[in-house]
Amino acid sequence: MATTADAPQVASTDFTGDLRTLLPARPPSTVEAGLDGAVGDTIGADAAAAMYTNSDPTMASLAFARLGFRQAVYTAWTDRTAGVTVTVGLFQFADFHGAFVFSGGVQRTYEESPDADRGAMLERIFEARWYASKPLGDATYLATAYSKGSIAVWIRMVGRTDLPKLTRLAEEQYVRLP
């Protein structure tokens, strides 16, 4: 008779290291772009909520708590030659469900934005979508959101954006995740 002790064990995909080690390196020809002092620092739910949303940060913090938020980290850089600023945010949750729900919420935010112009799936990343804005003066934004395991990823480019570069950065970030 089989027992639960005989059942195959599923390896945990929970990341227990320093979340900053999963961020991409800033390209050498760029300069760091500030995000209210949070670039490169691991931040908690309140700081992440305040940076992520234009809505009430307290409500966003409560939503993060319900999803099992653990920590977040950002990096951002500006390529003055290309005329673009890139932001990469990693959000760690207690499990894959929290990360998946969060990344879906980010996607819905872009889908419902009055500035949204178009979007589609990123072919090589499960459930990843990219979004582009209508021209905003001389600039547009491109963004993507997806999750892998317990980590959600949000990447945004603002300025003279380039979809192949966003796609490549998203794919490289996906490979970096456990």
| pLDDT per residue as tens digits for the range 47-83 | 777 766 556 667 777 888 899 999 999 899 999 999 9
Contacts of 78 (CB under 8 A, 6+ apart): 30, 31, 32, 33, 84, 85, 86
Q: How far apart are alpha carbons 178 and 171 in whole angstroms?
A: 13
| pLDDT per residue as tens digits for the range 98-154 | 999 999 988 998 888 888 888 999 999 999 999 999 887 878 899 999 999 999 999
Spans of all domains in the chain: 30-176
